Amino acid sequence: MKKIISLIYHDVYDKRTAESGFQNQEALVYKINAIDFENQVKKISSFKEKYDIRFTFDDGGSSFYVLIAPILEKYNFKGYYFISSDFINKKGFLTENQLRKLSESGHFIGSHSSSHPRDMTKLSCERQFEEWDKSKNTLEKIIGKEIVMASIPNGQFNKKVLEIMIKVGIREVYTSIPRTGFTSFNLNEDLALLSYGRFPVRNDQSTNRVISIMSSRKNRILMYLRWMVLQILLFLFKERYYDIRSFFLKKNNTN
């Protein structure tokens, strides 16, 4: 069985970053030029014999259909698209028809919550259930298929978040933990989900840097250690965590 390596992307743009998806500072860091994206996909495709490579995309920007899908299909990949359903049909985001066509073309559709809250762990259990249930139902009505996959906005989750996702009917969750493969989280003997790790791709990373995720186990370990440092910051600074995280993302993006 091939080792699974999942990559997190957000938006791809042709001429302007404002073409697709969210436009806040944190989102801008994850917007990749289409030429760079295709170059990455082309080079990553050479690792298909060794790894089960999964290109995942969060939020639901219109670039999923306009730019990303044609590039992935050119190199015989299918995308894993996680959609914040409240933004469907809004400017810069997928339309219902585009979402339906992606599904019909064999791409995988999952939930990214309904409203894309900043920190799912701070919501009440009732609100969390509503976020996942509303998104799941909306997407199922559009594509006519059951939604069993999801990714969590901003990557923040705990045991309670996973328990609620299982109760809603999610069976696979793609996290922001930079690690290969998956782990199993069991609510009881009958209800469980698989939790997949993912490696983030930002626009301050060279193509060679992105390729090293595939070629270098050492680099994957370093990315995991960096993630661990961010979790320590989250624990120590709590409310100021996102300000610190945004500062470092902005700093990385301007270097």
Please identify every stretch of the chain with a pLDDT value under 70, giving residue numbers as ranges.
238-255
Are residues 142 and 88 in contact, defined by beta-carbon separation less than 8 angstroms?
yes
128's tokens:
């969390």
66's tokens:
């306009």
Q: Which long-range contacts (CB under 8 A, 24 or more apart) does 190-193 make?
A: 191/166, 191/167, 192/166, 193/162, 193/165, 193/166
Are residues 155 and 119 in contact, defined by beta-carbon separation less than 8 angstroms?
no
Say what the pLDDT of residue 243 is: 64
Domain boundaries, the chain: 3-227
Q: How much is the pTM?
A: 0.90
Say what the pLDDT of residue 239 is: 61
Say what the pLDDT of residue 223 is: 92
- Fold topology of 3-227: TIM Barrel (3.20.20)
